[in-house]
Amino acid sequence: MEFTLLWQAGLGIVATVIVARTQNRRVVVEPGVDLGDRLVGAAVAGLVAGRITAMILQGVNPILRPADILVVRGGVHTGAATMAALASLAWGLRHNLWRNLDAAAPAALAGLAGWHAGCVFRDACLGAASSLPWALAQSGSTISRHPVEIYAAGLYALAATASLLMGRGWRPGVLAGFAIAVAGGIRLVTQPLRPSIGGGPVGWYLAGVVAGIGISAWNRVRTAQAR
């Protein structure tokens, strides 16, 4: 794993932990649960699962070549990583699942904001060509481009802030669904500005939006019927 990628991951972890520590103080989670630890553990689980899946799809046997799991630049399967991370987080917060997931949502969104903002460490913030005044050009190039990863980081930061300010009045599980939908939606709307082969895993982003909306709606109806 290259060091610039480690810096990017580190920024995401720092953002996650800072907001998680804030949530640990302001909302009630089960005793002994640290949201930051749970979220970082889920991210690691997702990264490993996504990397192993990508290796298998590329025809690389992870059992015979275990060291290749660390070569994250070789590819991480978005869908497998997301599903594994969510499953790990849900298991870690299972004793009061929806309230704990709601508490973790702002920190997860902040972590995504930090990850995308970490593009500055890798010189990988730019996407499609643009003539807008804030477009940037890579060193040695005359073509200006959208700073698409900065766009994404800003949108995730706004979503994290909104969920911190508004989430406490929502019914259990609604904020968690909102966070999943927003996470997929931001990637969906910024994807056309990213240089990628075949358009990227748009189907997974769309699935996240649909699943998140469904989770929010289901929890809203479920808690309303319980009253």
pTM: 0.90
Q: What ranges do the domains of the chain cover? A: 3-226
Q: What percent helix, strand, coil does the chain show, rounded to 5?
A: 75, 0, 25
User: pLDDT tens-digit profile of 55-72?
Assistant: 999 999 999 999 988 888
User: pLDDT tens-digit profile of 87-118?
Assistant: 999 999 988 899 899 999 999 999 999 999 99
pLDDT range class, residue 153, cuts 50, 70, 90: very high
Ranges 7-11, 45-49, 155-159, 160-164: which has the least confidence: 7-11
